[in-house]
Structure 1
Amino acid sequence: MGTVVLYPSPGMGHLISMVELGKLITKHHPSISIIVLTLIPSFNTGTTASYVRHISATFPAITFHHLPDIPLDPLLFPSMEAIIFELIRSSNPNVSNALESISLSSNITAFVMDMFCTPAMSMAISFNVPGYYFFTSGACCLAQLLYFPTLHKTTTQSFKDMNTLINSPGLPPIPSSDIVGPLLDRTSTDYSAFLEIIEQFPTAAGIIINTFEALEPRAIKAITDGVCVPDRPTPPIYCVGPLVALGGGGSHECLSWLDLQPSGSVVYLCFGSLGVFSRDQLREIAKGLEKSGVRFLWVVRSPPSNRKEDRFLPTPEPDLDELLPEGFIDRTKDRGLVVKKWAPQVDVLRHKSIGGFVTHCGWNSVLEAVSFGVPMLAWPLYAEQRFNKVILRDELKLALAMEESRRAGW
């Protein structure tokens, strides 16, 4: 019996996608066991630990090996990306120890690393195990990143300052301000760290992508034809999506409320586990929903803290009376529901009452909407979401894009 070791980067979206990949492997190869190496920062354990317990209880073929925590002070890092990169780099000795321990009792047939875990490829080589990268976004984003070292060599200017269109194989023209977030500012440490990660992609035995060919045919062809990496061989790619964590069909107040709404009548607004708005922005969204007259289901999270030391802590329970306009919930109670912090998104999106989705364009959310045929209004917030917005609007024709004013911070 063989064992496939999966190594997701920190973050719920990446962990969930990797676990769904593990489920898919065991479905097609029941004799294969899955071990997931988990790297959970000490300052952000709650939601991840609960999810791991749930998977352990319901999918016995998937087990978890928890890597020791790395004592890093998040206040010393300029961004979330920077601390994640350092956590992954610093965890390499622990990854080696984990693989050594697993190999004593199991035949490791493959080591699948998250796209951010490229430092661990050296471990696959040292253990003589095929190493694969798992790309948690789409093929269009992968095509852009594979081609990015070529773009990097053509300019010394930061992409955020160019005010031009970027042309890459298999993609529509992308505004320079909409490329993947860490690559906007050439002078930042995130830029150099991310570029180093990208340059390692072609070293893999293969790249596994959470997409499917009918969704992104042009980008997939550009990658497989080798034109995105003009100076090196491109590894094989494997499209295994859509990997969607199907809901359990359990009870939640919002599902009971949706049961009472007409088919296709409700707009669902949710911006992911990290998507937050200021109090002023939340009030403007509320005003827009009230004036629109549409039925809505809105997941509201507390605004971000202004204190640097709070940026990695879980967001507190939102005080809706303080955050939203006075009387808003009462005035819209016949056609709207506001939910605090979280909703069972897959169960929501596949509900017959949902007619549209206002989304931050996180790739997991995009695939969930695509899987259930829900049209999207794109409102990107961070990471590669601005890039995804352009792809959804211009390439895939699956979304409209929210108009925005950069000066106002929207």
Structure 2
Amino acid sequence: MSNSGDKTPPHVALLPSSGMGHLTPFLRLAATLAGRGVTVTLITICPTVSAAESHHLSQFLSSLPQIHPLEFQIQPLDPTTTTSNDPFFLHFEAISRSAHLLTPLLSSSSFSALVTDISLASAFSPIASNLNLPNHILFTSSASMLAFCAYFSTQFSTITTTTTTATINLPDVFDIPGLPPLPKSSIPPPLLDPAHLFTTQFIKNGLAVLKSTSIIINTFDEFEPYSLTTMNEGKLDSGMPQVFAIGPLDQCEFEKGTPLSWLDLHPDESVVYVSFGSRTALSEEQIKELGVGLEKSGCRFLWVVKSKVVDREEEVEELERIIGEGFIGRNKEKGLVVMDWVDQGKILGHKSVGGFVSHCGWNSMTEAAWYGVPVLAWPQAGDQRINAGVVGRGGLGIWMEKWGWKGEEKGVVKGEEIGEIVRKFMGNLDLKVGAKRVREGARKAVESGGSSDKGLREVVEMWKRG
């Protein structure tokens, strides 16, 4: 099913998963590949979990008519057959269980390769193999998280997941080649439970990654040199396929909206941007304390408040009730609070923004790196503590490790402490210098002849050869 001859551009099918954190890098990769002459088919999962995904897909396909959509209607999932109530984990599972339905769709065209989301790797690798189709994995997090994923999956692949009473005897510290010692407290909490749906998916997908044709990742050599080198030299696992760093992937044109005019009113690097991503909802108590902290910091701020995990859930709370009565009025001169979707790239690229309080979702971190905005890392779940470690080691920012994350017993971080840390963070000149250095590395990586440019060229040439 592969193309032959140098004159025929490779035709690649991209299979994203659910959630904006997974969809966004696929859309950016699709646009990047199309710009390099690759014929791209984007497999669109129907239905999506969130309205944001549907909206972005529609905008993307309208703005790039050269990219071919291929609708993949998945079967509904009986939630009683799983061990999770997380809407995204359930959607991963629904897509995976519908894998057999993709075979006729892929057979309808001559593809050079399939690029599959990491969360779907184990289910769709056999489909690609049966069609003699090279299967490449797009890993939607950091290289450090990829190293952990491969290591954990091979070390704990024999974990039984058939009982809800079993526990995993994990070491207090993981010694993973290419990473500093990784404490157990930094790994995604569901991995402590062998019966958790996420654990099952994580291990199966990690093992499938090792059998893939190659791994594509949205990072760059200058930001994560040790993890990338360790994996590509076979020091992590001798069977590890080649890892191609191709980032930071640029925003699509439709994402590049008009920046908030409010930002124009403030001095350079004076505004702290606060956002915890598309699916991280803080507790109402923590939201109120965060508001107290921003007010006490004395800093100008742009704060994106999210109180629901999925944006299709009806927003019945009034903004004032969530963040505290009178907050908006008291801070109208120096603060802006929004609940709508914002153009994060435009915000981070605005000259008035001088800091980013973030959960450390990987798309957010690559955007911060691209614009050279220092990060105050406050990870909440999943891969975010490992990503926060990358932020600290890479010189992009600092991680408040003692603040804990969602669901831990450390409790709510009080506003007084948040305010003090934010004030010091925004005044830290060394952090600003470090972040600008990361920005220079990011720009250099994607320039012609840069490390990420070379990585992407190698991938496209591989597809051309068939």
CA 1:249–1:100: 2 relative to 1, 3 Å: closer
Q: Which residue of 1 is the match for residue 258 of structure 2?
A: 251
- Kindly report which structure 2 residues correspond to 1:101-112, keeping only aligned pairs within 5 A, or say none: 101=108, 103=109, 107-112=110-115
CA 1:90–1:210: 2 relative to 1, 3 Å: same
- Kindly report which structure 2 residues correspond to 1:118-267, keeping only aligned pairs within 5 A, or say none: 118=121, 119-152=123-156, 164-230=172-238, 233-246=239-252, 249-251=256-258, 255-267=260-272
> What is the distance in 2 between the residues matched to 1:301 and 1:363?
18
Q: Which residue of 2 is the match for residue 308 of structure 1?
A: none
Structure 1 residue 348 displacement after superposition? 0.1
Structure 1 residue 342 displacement after superposition? 2.1
Residue 139 of structure 1 aligns to which amino acid in structure 2?
A
CA 1:152–1:204: 2 relative to 1, 3 Å: same
Q: Which residue of 1 is the match for residue 289 of structure 2?
A: 284
Structure 1 residue 149 displacement after superposition? 3.2
Match of 1:400 among 395, 398, 401: 398
Q: Say whether the 8 Å CA contact 1:10–1:40 is kept in structure 2.
A: no
Q: Is 1:275 the equivalent of 2:280?
A: yes
1:251-277 per-residue CA deviation (whole Å, 9 max, x = no partner) reads 35xx20101100000000011111111
SS, match of residue 39 in structure 1: strand
SS, match of residue 243 in structure 1: coil
1:343-376 per-residue CA deviation (whole Å, 9 max, x = no partner) reads 1100000000001000010000000000000000
Q: Which has the higher contact order (CA 8 A, sep 6+)?
A: 2
SS, match of residue 29 in structure 2: helix
> What is the distance in 2 between the residues matched to 1:131 and 1:152?
24
> What is the distance in 1 between the residues matched to 2:387 and 2:314?
25
Structure 1 runs not aligned, ≥5 long: 305-310
Q: Is 1:114 the equivalent of 2:117?
A: yes
Structure 1 residue 76 displacement after superposition? 5.8
CA 1:65–1:13: 2 relative to 1, 3 Å: same
Q: Which residue of 1 is the match for residue 27 of structure 2?
A: 19
CA 1:313–1:303: 2 relative to 1, 3 Å: closer
Residue 381 of structure 2 aligns to which amino acid in structure 1?
Y
SS, match of residue 357 in structure 1: strand
Residue 247 of structure 2 aligns to which amino acid in structure 1?
G
Structure 1 residue 180 displacement after superposition? 3.4
When normalised by structure 1's length, the TM-score is: 0.88
Q: Say whether the 8 Å CA contact 2:273–2:303 is kept in structure 1.
A: yes
What is the Cα-based RMSD across aligned positions, in Å? Answer: 2.4
When normalised by structure 2's length, the TM-score is: 0.78
Report % sequence identity.
36
> What is the distance in 2 between the residues matched to 1:73 and 1:244?
38
Residue 116 of structure 1 aligns to which amino acid in structure 2?
S
CA 1:130–1:123: 2 relative to 1, 3 Å: same
> What is the distance in 2 between the residues matched to 1:249 and 1:212?
22
> What is the distance in 2 between the residues matched to 1:390 and 1:93?
38
Q: Say whether the 8 Å CA contact 1:269–1:298 is kept in structure 2.
A: yes
> What is the distance in 2 between the residues matched to 1:16 and 1:249?
13
Structure 1 residue 208 displacement after superposition? 0.6
1:102-145 per-residue CA deviation (whole Å, 9 max, x = no partner) reads x2xxx311111111112111121122121111111111111111
Residue 395 of structure 2 aligns to which amino acid in structure 1?
K
SS, match of residue 214 in structure 1: coil
Residue 144 of structure 1 aligns to which amino acid in structure 2?
F
Q: Say whether the 8 Å CA contact 1:300–1:318 is kept in structure 2.
A: no
Residue 258 of structure 2 aligns to which amino acid in structure 1?
S
> What is the distance in 1 between the residues matched to 2:167 and 2:244?
32
1:318-361 per-residue CA deviation (whole Å, 9 max, x = no partner) reads 51121122211111111111111321100000000001000010
Residue 111 of structure 1 aligns to which amino acid in structure 2?
L
Q: Say whether the 8 Å CA contact 1:244–1:364 is kept in structure 2.
A: no
SS, match of residue 301 in structure 2: strand
Q: How many residues align?
A: 391
Q: Which residue of 2 is the match for residue 349 of structure 1?
A: 348
> What is the distance in 1 between the residues matched to 2:351 and 2:300?
13
Match of 2:41 among 27, 31, 35: 35
CA 1:26–1:181: 2 relative to 1, 3 Å: farther
> What is the distance in 2 between the residues matched to 1:315 and 1:240?
38
Structure 1 residue 150 displacement after superposition? 4.3
CA 1:206–1:151: 2 relative to 1, 3 Å: same
> What is the distance in 1 between the residues matched to 2:107 and 2:283?
47
Structure 1 residue 154 displacement after superposition? 10
Structure 1 residue 188 displacement after superposition? 2.7
Q: Which residue of 1 is the match for residue 385 of structure 2?
A: 386
Q: Which residue of 1 is the match for residue 71 of structure 2?
A: 66
Q: Say whether the 8 Å CA contact 1:183–1:190 is kept in structure 2.
A: yes
Structure 1 residue 91 displacement after superposition? 1.6
SS, match of residue 75 in structure 2: coil
> What is the distance in 2 between the residues matched to 1:127 and 1:188?
31
1:144-192 per-residue CA deviation (whole Å, 9 max, x = no partner) reads 1111134427999956x86822210111111101113442323434313
Residue 243 of structure 2 aligns to which amino acid in structure 1?
I
Query: Which shifted more, 265-274 or 81-90?
Result: 81-90
Q: Say whether the 8 Å CA contact 1:258–1:353 is kept in structure 2.
A: yes
